[in-house]
Amino acid sequence: MQTMQYYLDQLSRELRQRNYSPRTIEIYQSCISYFLKSIKNNIESIDREKIIDFILHLQSKNKAPKTINLYKEAIKFFVKEILKKNIIIDLRLSKEPRKLPILLSREEINQILNNILNPKHKLLIWLSYGAWLRVSEIISLKVMDIDFSNNFIHVKSAKWQKDRITLLPLSLIADIKKFCIDKSWNDFLLESERGWWLSDRTAQNIFNQALTKSWIKKSATFHSLRHSFATHLLENGTDIRYVQSLLWHANIRTTQIYTQVTNPMLKNIQSPL
């Protein structure tokens, strides 16, 4: 019987040749590792019932629907593409609750930035907020992806493996150019001390530490930077279609969720109490 590491290596190899992002590969490996541990690496025992038992186990642990859906997708890929097993896995995706995004005001964004002393860490937050970049996009950003002549950033292999273009904040150009000095075109803009990309966890920790130092009590995450700037654009009167295009939302309804927290008419209504 092959070891668990053998199957994880095969999974990584298959995902890499399909050009999946490093973050997606990390997530899929984590999901499959946990799944294989739960069945004691007994690959031959994997069938539809075993998979359902595992999903029920995740639910008993109060895992979020989004997390459970990630496990389902990872297991489907693993069984079909790595094990080559012909198992009918007709598992429906768990319904995810529709929640309003947690937003940070402009003042809170500035508070967070003022509590970051490291220039690289500060640019990480500034650029993520100002260019609407997801954490996976900012950590994989390379020098070649920044077009100073046309003031845009080419985001490669973004969500759903699609490239997109976003605006380069003019106020950050001088700072960005400082980080490009002595770097080649293929180097990461905000590389780690080892000369590789910053990890997702490192980026999240930088944000969380600054949030704590700022005494902001909201349960905001790194992704709140993206939510916040979209909201600030709408508050400035930017047409929602432009915001949809910049955020690369396929459906306008995804963008419209921000209008629920920026509606000026709603803010002007006073309670009768």
3-state SS record for 157-218 = CCHHHCCEEEECCHHHHHHHHHHHCCCCCCCECCECCCCCECCHHHHHHHHHHHHHHCCCCC
Q: What is the pTM of this model?
A: 0.64
Does the pLDDT value for residue 37 go beyond 80? Answer: yes
DSSP 151: T
In angstroms, the CA 129 to CA 258 distance is 16
Is residue 17 within 8 A of residue 36, CB to CB? The reply is no
Whether 134 sits among the annotated catalytic residues: the reply is yes
CATH number for the domain running over 106-267: 1.10.443.10
Residue span(s) of the chain under CATH 1.10.443.10 come to 106-267
Q: How confident is the model at residue 124 (pLDDT cuts 50, 70, 90)?
A: very high
Whether 154 sits among the annotated catalytic residues: the reply is no
Q: Specify the fold of 4-82.
A: DNA polymerase; domain 1 (1.10.150)
Whether 226 sits among the annotated catalytic residues: the reply is yes
Q: Active site residue: 72, 121, 122, 134, which one?
A: 134
Residue span(s) of the chain under CATH 1.10.150.130 come to 4-82
pLDDT mean over 68-75: 90
Whether 159 sits among the annotated catalytic residues: the reply is yes
pLDDT tens string 141-198:
999 999 999 999 988 755 555 678 888 989 999 999 999 998 999 899 998 877 777 8
Does the pLDDT value for residue 104 go beyond 70? Answer: yes
